[in-house]
Structure 1
Amino acid sequence: MSTHPPFRKVFEGVATRSQMFALFDRHSDTPGVDPLSGVPYASEWFEISASEYHFMLGLLPPLFQRTGMFGMSEFKAGNVTSVFFAIRIRGRERWFHGFCDLSDKHSPDAMRAAIIAHETGAVDSMTREEKLEAIWSATHADFRGIAGETNPDSWPMEHHGKRTILVYTVGQGTTLKLLEDLTDEEIDSLMPAVHARSRRGGGDDAKPS
């Protein structure tokens, strides 16, 4: 039986067109990733606007199309392609993009169900993993990196290849930490900045204040 990573939201807010295209390639600078597999992207999703949904629908003939859903005929890599959703949630029409691994023919429907479950949950329904992904996506490239990529001696070998981010620590100033090692307090302090950049359309192109 094939296995897939859990469905995960990777951007907080509604992505603009430039943010959407940046998120399409958000793993392009991740070392050790096989660009032909599409595996890092599979099961990631985020919200878009109606205009982006219809723009992408008109870009290429869809691979498949049914009510409230269509798939891109141009695959990201391997069996992974973009699937776009129009979903009515609590009486309001909303639009989403997700990367689905079509080696599992049920993946688009499972993605749709996961989005609905997430968006109809608690007000703060993002998991720790989803918050880390949102923070990473919203952080400018100047303030994030990969451990051991430029200075191998600065990180223990077991951390090489992991994602790093600059954070402000009381008493220490700005320090470089592994993304996975952010404390709950640091995540909570960074999430408002993610929300703010999402609202003003800054996303990955906006430097943190």
Structure 2
Amino acid sequence: MPTHPPFRKVFNGIATREQMFRLFNRQHDVPGTDPLSGAPYAGEWFEISSVEYHFMLGLLPPLFQRTGMFGLSEYKAGYVTSVFFAIRVRGRERWFHGFCDLSDKHSPDAMRAAIIAHETGAADSMTREEKLEAIWNATHADCKGRAGEIDPEAWPQQHRGKRTIMVNAGGEGAVLKLLEDLSDDEVDRLLPTR
């Protein structure tokens, strides 16, 4: 199982309502994780629109609310819940969703700081891991899977269970590759744009 930075952007661009709800449930099939702990979700974040921010604010009574931030009263799993942020970045108001583990009461503030640091960095401030997560999230379910889930013998033991994705290999047509093995050119080509 890969290790992730404590806070990671998992979608490039501004998620639509449909994308937002899909991202809420993107970790339900991660092998080797306890879905009841909430650990696979904790620390993930992505950008949403003002409309989605206010829709979610009106959906359920907030667990907590303060200027520019509120948490949903319904937990995802364990102590992990959705926290929504309104953050001014370079003079423009923007809105974000993140999964925070409230067993650490500083988690929402730490996530807010991580989002600000990420969004005020260089023009292309996504790490390779964040880019791979964005590609994975944007790829249709028919074009992604897990190595060895259909034919275990087709993959070496050390790769079984890792994420795979179909890519256009030019003259070779579509080929199945490990997500982590995408070249930089493939990452740039497959990365969803705003």
TM-score (norm 1): 0.88
Deviations 1:115-152 (A, max 9, x none): 11111111111100000000000000000001111211
Equivalent in the alignment of 1:46 = 46
Deviations 1:138-179 (A, max 9, x none): 000000001111211111111111100011224432111111
**Aligned-residue identity in percent:** 77
Equivalent in the alignment of 2:97 = 97
Equivalent in the alignment of 2:141 = 141
Equivalent in the alignment of 2:26 = 26
User: What are the equivalent positions in structure 2 for 1:52-201 lying under 5 Å apart?
Assistant: 52-191=52-191, 194-195=192-193, 199=194
Which consecutive residues of structure 1, in runs of 5 or more, have no partner in the other structure? 200-209
What CA distance in whole angstroms lies between the structure 2 residues aligned with 1:89 and 1:188?
25
What CA distance in whole angstroms lies between the structure 1 residues aligned with 2:175 and 2:6?
30
TM-score (norm 2): 0.94
Equivalent in the alignment of 1:205 = none
The structure whose residues are more often strand, as a share, is 2
How far did residue 91 of structure 1 move?
1.1
How far did residue 34 of structure 1 move?
1.6
Go from structure 1 to structure 2 and tell me whether the alpha carbon gap of 1:5 and 1:125 turns closer, same or farther (over 3 Å shift).
Answer: closer
Secondary structure at the counterpart of residue 76 of structure 2: coil
Secondary structure at the counterpart of residue 74 of structure 1: strand
What CA distance in whole angstroms lies between the structure 1 residues aligned with 2:53 and 2:111?
16
Secondary structure at the counterpart of residue 28 of structure 2: coil
Secondary structure at the counterpart of residue 108 of structure 1: helix
Conserved in 2, the CA contact under 8 Å of 1:167 and 1:177?
yes
Specify the code of the residue in structure 2 equivalent to 1:82: S
Conserved in 2, the CA contact under 8 Å of 1:5 and 1:42?
no
Which consecutive residues of structure 2, in runs of 5 or more, have no partner in the other structure? none
Specify the code of the residue in structure 2 equivalent to 1:179: L
Secondary structure at the counterpart of residue 72 of structure 1: strand
Specify the code of the residue in structure 1 equivalent to 2:105: K
Conserved in 2, the CA contact under 8 Å of 1:8 and 1:44?
yes
What CA distance in whole angstroms lies between the structure 1 residues aligned with 2:101 and 2:148?
31
- The answer to whether structure 1 residue 11 and structure 2 residue 30 are counterparts is no
Conserved in 2, the CA contact under 8 Å of 1:80 and 1:99?
yes
Equivalent in the alignment of 2:37 = 37
Conserved in 2, the CA contact under 8 Å of 1:165 and 1:176?
yes
Total equivalences in the alignment: 191
